[in-house]
Structure 1
Amino acid sequence: MDLSRINPRIRLNDLTERFRRIEREIQEVRASLTENADAISGLTALVHSAAAAASVRASIPRPPYRVLFLVHHLGAWPGMHAIVQAMLDSDDFRPTVATIPHKYPGDEGFRGEEALHERLAADGIEHIRFNFSDSLRALPIIRAIDPDLVLRQSQWDNDVPTAFRTNALNFLRQGLVPYEPMNPIVNPPVSDRQNTAVDEELHTAGWVVFATNELMLDMSVREGHRLGQNVDVVGHAKAHELRTAKPFWPFGNDHIRPRIVWSAHHSVGSDWTQFGTFGMAHGPMLEFAKTHQEVEFVFLAHPALEPRIHTPQSPVSPAQYSAFLRNWSALPNAEVCNGAEYMNIVAASDCVVTDGVSMLIEPQVMTKPIVFLERAGHAPFNDIGEIAVAGVHRVSDVAEAQRLALSLASGESDPLEDRQRTNTDLLFPSWNVGEKVLAALRARFTAEVR
């Protein structure tokens, strides 16, 4: 007997599941169409690149060195800003900053260039805008600039438009200023690349890759095809930005109530590193904020979380995510933040609840208590990760994370504070990063002249 004919609730559940299945299938078709379009654009870019490689002079770099910065990641801009400023203050470098859009897994198209433009304008950084619907229109401009080096913020080619990917710019020296200070986990292998943290195409084709510490260099030597030959250890400018971040709290400067930051990673599905706990935590955390009006909460979503919600692998539907944001923001003691000011918010907080990954490290520079809501089955930690998690409180239960966060935010001393200081010294041994980057580049440019 078909129970759905008798029980309307069963019938409704059946229809809901069918609609969700259809929605997932539509998303898969859209993703396939996007991949095909990217493939065609990629072939076109290779043709442009080959022509450029044949026509551009074999330049011998001489000062002032021309460096083009391609900026697509708003949250990582502070780490690049220090290097740009060091070049502006020098006599032998001429930086050009360009804003470009990005696309994270789940995004249907490229976006975000306008927000980057506004942020750089607010920082007083002169920049050009590559906001073309067809990114290949930027290539003639890049050839006219004729940079001695192009620096990108991340190794992920799919995150940037076709014209700015490694293969498209292979007629120029390319380099990487990593958006994350370091990689604390064992990344799942992709194709023939053992570790995408040190062996993506930009790592292997790049003229220079900057690393925060010797541990990242060792990782490149062990697991990268270039054996670390193009890696320079200079530190990471984000450490200075974290340590000196001016506190900002959306509820005002009066620090009367406890302040808790809840940070959610994007790996909510089962197809990547599996750190994300938003699926199981968003309901209890909303209720937690409702029932604790004496506490102020800020939700920090990883920039890639919302687009990831739109993928078939997400345990939370886009409608559920929108409803959560709406209900959370409606509370008088809860706010949402997705921008580059996240460091300022963490600086103003009393405690951070997070599921990873960089947020297991970054707040330690500020000696902020960190409650790590740990998801079972996540990618294992490497040597860096094992150092980092010694400075956080590991829990696997949302209720326990809430209890601990409430205690720490309410003034309970953190027994891991000294460990965090030790971790910061171990993981960020180098400061004054801008000058170290310039010194490393001078050495590499000079070596080419000899």
Structure 2
Amino acid sequence: MISQKSWFNFFTTHIFAFGRVDGPTYTTRMYFNSNGRIGGYTTNNEYFWQLDETGLVLQNGNHAATTHFTLDEFPRVDNEMVQISGQYLPNSSVQHRITVVSIDRFYDAQARTMREDLQKTIGQGVQPALNRAFAQAETTMAGARTHHKIRLAFILNSRETLPAVLPLLNATRDDQRFEVKLVLTNKYYLGTESLETFEPIAAYFDEHHIGYVNAANRTDCVRVLEMLKIWQADFIVRQSEWEQDFPPEFGGRQLNWSRLIYIPYVITENMIKSAQRQDSGLLFNDYYRYIWRYFMADPLTVEQQYQLESGFISSEIFQSVGSMKAVEIKNEPAQWPLDMKNCTKKMVWIAHHSIGNHWFNMGSFPRVYQEMIDWARTHQSVSILFNPHPLLEATIKAGEFSGYTLEDYQHFLEQWQQLPNTGVLTKKSQYGATQAADLVFTDGVSSLYEMQIQGKPIVTLARHDQVGFTALGQQLMRGVHVTHTMAAAFEQIEQLLDHEDDRAELQVQNVHNWIKNDHPEVNIMDEMVREIDSHW
């Protein structure tokens, strides 16, 4: 049995010559699209392709098999040109052959032929000028776009924030104008320590039978970056704007040869002010210097446009299309992962990771966890799901809160899960649980407005030293019940679990613009198509 994942990656990242073993070569530009279509050379006999348990199957326009190539378990990786022979099924006397043709070899052959033809035509008298001209031509050809479909790559490292890009990923995979590659890697903490996030996101795509390129190991990233360049990605979507979340090979400077697209994993970055620059929002991230488009939920405000004038991030990159994530959150089916037993109410407790004193300063977990245990123990009619920020454990391990250790956190988790009405949700999307919940208790940033999309009562515990809210942030906080002590928070929680939320109408007003466009991904795809058409 062949490794279908390895062969899928092999066939979708190479260009091939195709012809008869004992006859003519029909094309030197055949390629295999990830959607099952053959490109570069299409006849009725060679129209689709797929992998079975033993090899590669070429199919005609009616999906009937025409040629079968028996394959080894894994592709051969060396410096020789790989040749694979297969049986033409309608005629047993005919065998076909596909041969790997690298992009570099193709261009070298083309340039060499052009040089020889010109030399024969005009003689040797201008040889030095010819050499310079062809050197420049070869450089230009090596970077030229040589394909007709729009090639889009996603670099992903987080299962939790996948809903922000999933509609675009699915839509482009289903659209014949696009060819899509997924590159999965691990998330890093401060750029050095891997948080081992590859397995959960890989499991999601395995479950949905979607192929991907494995870049889980740092040694893989150099190779994958080079393959992305050879593949000539027209656009790259990287899942996070934080450079330290990715290995250096996937940094903005290293990806700047393509058109970088950023789709925020939060709905708005205009909620809070910058921790470093209290007079500004979060639009001064260095990564934005490299991107082609930032597709955002709301148009830039006058204040944001003014702030951008003080740096070298162009206002031209920002385009308002609505929010795919907001639509996903709104439509997420309710799913409560805990056994309700004798519980009659459901609450999600979301804990942010900014627990220290020198960043956003919104996280309060080390200060309140014991009170939460005590409250949960005395309110066993409430099913409580603890949903920590993906970086909370790493932040505790790094000593961001003096006196609270990783061992303390692990002891808390043991205590928490021993209670009959509590549980923990990590490395999965939270939105099914919040959709099913009766209330959300949070100290986070995005959860302060995301759960308003689902119409949930939200209680927050505010710190006196936390980062300030922007004008939009202050408006959004009108849909949240703000408290400053745990006693006040518990009182508000108990009130809202038994009564209607008087902030519900304010929440509807807050989120209206984010969800009025049901399909922001269509706007994003149209913009990519326009960009390619304008340069083709």
Calculate the TM-score normalised by the size of structure 2: 0.69
Q: Is the 8 A contact 1:99 1:128 kept in 2?
A: yes
Distance 1:168 1:194, change over 3 A: farther
Distance 1:88 1:170, change over 3 A: same
Show structure 2 runs of 5+ residues with no match.
1-138
Q: Is the 8 A contact 1:199 1:220 kept in 2?
A: no
Partners in 1 of 2:243 and 2:281 — Cα distance?
12
User: SS at the partner of 2:463?
Assistant: coil
Partners in 2 of 1:106 and 1:133 — Cα distance?
12
- What does residue 198 of structure 2 align with? 113
* CA deviation profile, 1:128-157 (whole Å, cap 9, x unmatched): 211223222322221232211111111111
Q: Is the 8 A contact 1:110 1:161 kept in 2?
A: no
Deviation, structure 1 residue 177: 1.5
* CA deviation profile, 1:369-403 (whole Å, cap 9, x unmatched): 00011111111001221121010001011111112
Which residue identity is paired with 2:319? D
Partners in 2 of 1:61 and 1:395 — Cα distance?
59
- What does residue 238 of structure 1 align with? 325
- What does residue 69 of structure 1 align with? 154
The residue correspondences of 1:163-202 to structure 2 (distance < 5 A) are: 163-183=249-269, 184-189=271-276, 197-202=282-287
Verify: 1:334 aligned to 2:422, yes or no.
yes
Distance 1:308 1:369, change over 3 A: same
Deviation, structure 1 residue 406: 2.0
Distance 1:168 1:365, change over 3 A: same
Which residue identity is paired with 2:244? N
Which residue identity is paired with 1:250? P
* CA deviation profile, 1:198-233 (whole Å, cap 9, x unmatched): 222321111121111114796366336233111221
Q: Which of 225, 232, 239 is 1:153 aligned to?
A: 239
Which residue identity is paired with 2:327? H
* CA deviation profile, 1:20-44 (whole Å, cap 9, x unmatched): xxxxxxxxxxxxxxxxxxxxxxxxx
Deviation, structure 1 residue 107: 7.0
Q: Which of 402, 415, 418 is 2:490 aligned to?
A: 402
Which residue identity is paired with 2:196? R
The residue correspondences of 1:34-73 to structure 2 (distance < 5 A) are: 57-60=142-145, 63-73=148-158
Show structure 1 runs of 5+ residues with no match.
1-53
Distance 1:98 1:297, change over 3 A: same
* CA deviation profile, 1:149-207 (whole Å, cap 9, x unmatched): 111111111110111111122222222121111121001237xx985732223211111
* CA deviation profile, 1:247-294 (whole Å, cap 9, x unmatched): 111224789511111111110001211000112111101111111111
Q: Which of 230, 237, 251 is 2:338 aligned to?
A: 251
Distance 1:253 1:331, change over 3 A: closer
Partners in 2 of 1:110 and 1:295 — Cα distance?
32
Structure holding more helix per residue: 1
User: SS at the partner of 2:169?
Assistant: helix
Which residue identity is paired with 2:296? A
Partners in 2 of 1:446 and 1:218 — Cα distance?
34
Q: Is the 8 A contact 2:218 2:247 kept in 1?
A: no
User: SS at the partner of 2:152?
Assistant: strand
Q: Which of 316, 320, 323 is 1:229 aligned to?
A: 316
Partners in 2 of 1:446 and 1:271 — Cα distance?
47
Q: Is the 8 A contact 1:220 1:227 kept in 2?
A: no
Q: Is the 8 A contact 1:232 1:440 kept in 2?
A: no
Partners in 2 of 1:365 and 1:427 — Cα distance?
9
Partners in 1 of 2:192 and 2:425 — Cα distance?
19
Greater length-normalized contact order (CA 8 Å, ≥ 6 residues apart) = 1
Task: Tell me the C-alpha RMSD between the 2 structures.
Answer: 2.4
Structure holding more strand per residue: 2
Q: Which of 432, 439, 451 is 1:344 aligned to?
A: 432
Rg bigger for which structure?
2
Partners in 1 of 2:230 and 2:340 — Cα distance?
48
Partners in 2 of 1:292 and 1:106 — Cα distance?
41
User: SS at the partner of 2:161?
Assistant: helix
Partners in 2 of 1:220 and 1:145 — Cα distance?
36
Which residue identity is paired with 2:362? F
The residue correspondences of 1:78-97 to structure 2 (distance < 5 A) are: 78-97=163-182
User: SS at the partner of 1:136?
Assistant: helix
User: SS at the partner of 1:74?
Assistant: coil
Partners in 1 of 2:335 and 2:305 — Cα distance?
37
Partners in 2 of 1:157 and 1:68 — Cα distance?
18
- Pairs aligned (count): 394
* CA deviation profile, 1:92-125 (whole Å, cap 9, x unmatched): 1111111111112497335211211001222332
Partners in 1 of 2:385 and 2:192 — Cα distance?
24
Which residue identity is paired with 1:293? Q
